[in-house]
Amino acid sequence: MDIVVCVKTNPDLQMVRVKDRVAVTEAVPYKIGDLEKNALQAAVDLRAAAGGKVTALCLAVGNRKAAEDVKVALAMGADEAVVIDDPALAAPDQAAVATALAAAVKKIGACDLLLFGEGSTDNYSGQVGARVAEILGLPQIGYARKVEAVGGAVRCERSMDDMLETLEAPLPAVVTVVSEINEPTIPGLMQIMKAKSKPLQVWSLADLGLDAAQLAPTREIVSNLAEEQDRKHILFDGSAAEQADAFVNALIKEGVLGR
């Protein structure tokens, strides 16, 4: 079973600081998102069971070192990697991302299963897998916590809160996975060294037969800040017991308690 795993490199969230309510991403290194690593691991596990080839497909999106960072996917076990890097894709919307990925999947050709993380660690829109499935006209299963190959189909299990749902889709299909699906392995030094000689291609939009105009964002995200909450700045004096009483009374007054 030939599998394409779509991975995105995100700014390392641990390294992002917030200054004046804006994320400072300058000098912040990028890395492949955790959920994408789950998808990669799922692909490597499926290959172990069903054979075939695993290709990591990465959209650079503003990361000028994407071709370097994607090597982690190769070290984790992908057989080859493709990076789509084009200045026109510096800040694409989800539609543009899906269009580019779908074109790349077509160009890769052999693809029985297309895997995604359920969302990316930065924007977490969770749209791209579904959009690519629509563009390619493939069946899709979202939020899988278990994936196995069954004959010419893929069987997935997903949690619906009070029950587990088992779904099957004929191949080729698109599946997005959740973090419970596995524990991604951390590649050892030998795997990292071997990754160096695995095939890695960088494609521009022209290579995919697309032009920038087709991918111009149709919507602009003006702001995605969380709502700011004013603090009450109430200080309580007195003994611990008095403070506790005053605190509880204040909570009741605010309607937080005793509704």
User: Side-chain half-sphere of 6: how many Cα atoms within 13 Å?
Assistant: 32
Residue found under tokens 């204040």:
250
Reply yes or no: is the peptide bond before residue 11 cis, omega within 30 of 0.
no
Figure out which of the listed residues 21, 22, 27, 109 binds another protein, where binding follows CB under 8 A.
27
21 makes contact with another protein (CB under 8 A): no
Figure out which of the listed residues 49, 90, 91, 193 binds another protein, where binding follows CB under 8 A.
193
Phi, then psi, of 66 in degrees rounded to 5: -55, -40
180 makes contact with another protein (CB under 8 A): no
Phi, then psi, of 157 in degrees rounded to 5: -120, 135
Nearer to another protein, 154 or 200 (CB): 200
190 makes contact with another protein (CB under 8 A): yes
Task: Single out the segment in contact with another protein by CB under 8 A; choices: 32-40, 184-192, 204-212, 236-244.
Answer: 184-192
Figure out which of the listed residues 87, 152, 170, 188 binds another protein, where binding follows CB under 8 A.
188
Residue found under tokens 């029985």:
112
Task: Single out the segment in contact with another protein by CB under 8 A; choices: 10-18, 40-48, 53-61, 92-100.
Answer: 10-18
Interacting positions 60-99 with another protein (CB under 8 A): 65, 68
- Nearest 5 degrees, angle CA 137-CA 135-CA 179? 90
Say which amino acid occupies 223: S
13 makes contact with another protein (CB under 8 A): no
259 makes contact with another protein (CB under 8 A): no
What are the distances in angstroms from CA 1 to CA 111, 113, 119, 151, 232? 8, 7, 24, 10, 59
In the complex, which residues of this chain contact another protein (CB under 8 A)?
A: 12, 14-15, 17, 19, 27, 29, 65, 68, 186, 188-190, 192-193, 196
